[in-house]
Amino acid sequence: MVFHMKTTLNIDDSVMQRLREEAARRGTTMSALVEAGLRRVLAEPARFAVPSDGLPPLPTWRSGGFQVDIADRDALYRAMEEEG
């Protein structure tokens, strides 16, 4: 016996519009497409794996280097005064 559960999802308007159009083009329901997509994602868990510590990686960027040694309180205050 197969059971189906109704649920509520928050889906971006543009994605929802594309879902409606694709369901109409294929002659199927939006629910069927969403379920097929979920099955596809769940079949490949390694592709969407979360790091072992459960946290996403932090963003990185090149900041141009240090402006002041924050351990040097006087230098830090001078730098802050120059910014203002």
pLDDT greater at residue 79 or residue 2: 79
| Per-residue pLDDT, 46 | 67
| Per-residue pLDDT, 79 | 84
Average pLDDT over residues 58-66: 79
Indicate the domain borders of the chain: 1-54
The half-sphere exposure of 50 on its side-chain side, counting CA atoms within 13 A, is 4
Average pLDDT over residues 4-28: 93
45 pLDDT band (50/70/90 cuts)? low
Question: Does residue 32 surpass a pLDDT of 90?
Answer: yes
Residue 32 makes CB contacts below 8 A (sequence gap 6+) with 23
